[in-house]
Chain A
Amino acid sequence: DQQVKQNSPSLSVQEGRISILNCDYTNSMFDYFLWYKKYPAEGPTFLISISSIKDKNEDGRFTVFLNKSAKHLSLHIVPSQPGDSAVYFCAISSAGKSTFGDGTTLTVKP
């Protein structure tokens, strides 16, 4: 049973536009929700997180939204830059254990 799903395997946007990456989860018993970014031949790196008691967290160009009733998490990147091209993983965390989605490959075209 896949607890975390990223239904779009890939997303392509034009530089300067908004990128919206989505993530759905099934279990409500989680404390934090995180987004990681991964470049080829590197490990994932932490991008932004949100507590289960909040619905929005912003850090520069990156904003994460949490809709608990819909069990949905999204990451907005605005404006998108070519350097944002990478694989993005969402993760849900509880008690020191994270469950990851299968990633969305974002391509930002100049």
Chain B
Amino acid sequence: DTAVSQTPKYLVTQMGNDKSIKCEQNLGHDTMYWYKQDSKKFLKIMFSYNNKELIINETVPNRFSPKSPDKAHLNLHINSLELGDSAVYFCASRTGRDPTDTQYFGPGTRLTVL
């Protein structure tokens, strides 16, 4: 009974392809996030959804499109993949009732674009 799960764990694909990463949380949280961790180890926020509504959209190419069908799921679709998209992508969630902003992370999806 994993709290935040992501699929797939590894994704290897060719440049120009379109791919999706799925995220689900069973914690009953209302806010979910996507982060990108590149080779320099920085965890950079990409998007945040609160109750299916986009609330944070950092400077991310519009080839990246998040979709939240319900508040337990936040998927990430990437069009026309580029070499620079290779990274580890983490999904996270939090509850609005916790003022500390403690986030619960999934195990990550390692994307490799060839």
Q: Please measure, in the bound complex, the distance between the C-alpha atom of A43 and the C-alpha atom of B2, giving whole angstroms.
A: 12
Q: Which residues of A contact B99 (CB under 8 A)?
A: 31-32
- Number of chain B residues close to chain A: CB under 8 A: 27
Instruction: Tell me, yes or no, whether B14 is within 8 Å of chain A by CB.
Output: no
Instruction: Tell me, yes or no, whether A102 is within 8 Å of chain B by CB.
Output: yes
Q: Which residues of B contact A41 (CB under 8 A)?
A: 107-108
Q: Give 1 or 0 for each of A76-105: 1 = CB within 8 Å of chain B CB.
A: 000000000001010001101111101100
Q: Please measure, in the bound complex, the distance between the C-alpha atom of A42 and the C-alpha atom of B48, giving whole angstroms.
A: 21
| Cβ contact of A44, chosen from B31, B42, B56, B105, cutoff 8 A | B105
Q: Please measure, in the bound complex, the distance between the C-alpha atom of A93 and the C-alpha atom of B100, giving whole angstroms.
A: 7
Instruction: Tell me, yes or no, whether B106 is within 8 Å of chain A by CB.
Output: yes
| Cβ contact of A102, chosen from B42, B92, B103, cutoff 8 A | B42
Query: How many CB-defined contacts (below 8 Å) exist between A and B?
Result: 60
Q: Please measure, in the bound complex, the distance between the C-alpha atom of A103 and the C-alpha atom of B102, giving whole angstroms.
A: 17
| Cβ contact of B101, chosen from A44, A87, A93, A103, cutoff 8 A | A93
Q: Which residues of A contact B34 (CB under 8 A)?
A: none
Q: Give 1 or 0 for each of B55-69: 1 = CB within 8 Å of chain A CB.
A: 110000000000000
- Number of chain A residues close to chain B: CB under 8 A: 23
Instruction: Tell me, yes or no, whether B43 is within 8 Å of chain A by CB.
Output: yes
On whether the beta carbons of A97 and B108 are closer than 8 Å, the reply is no
Q: Given A97-B56, A98-B45, does the pair A43, B101 have CB atoms closer than 8 Å? A: no
On whether the beta carbons of B48 and A96 are closer than 8 Å, the reply is yes
Identify 14 residue pairs between A and B in the complex whose beta-carbon atoms are under 8 Å apart, listed by A's number.
Answer: A31-B101, A34-B101, A36-B105, A41-B108, A42-B108, A44-B43, A45-B104, A87-B41, A96-B31, A96-B48, A96-B101, A97-B56, A100-B43, A102-B42
Closest 10 pairs (CB-CB, A-B):
A43-B105, A93-B101, A100-B43, A32-B100, A49-B100, A46-B102, A102-B42, A102-B41, A103-B41, A44-B105
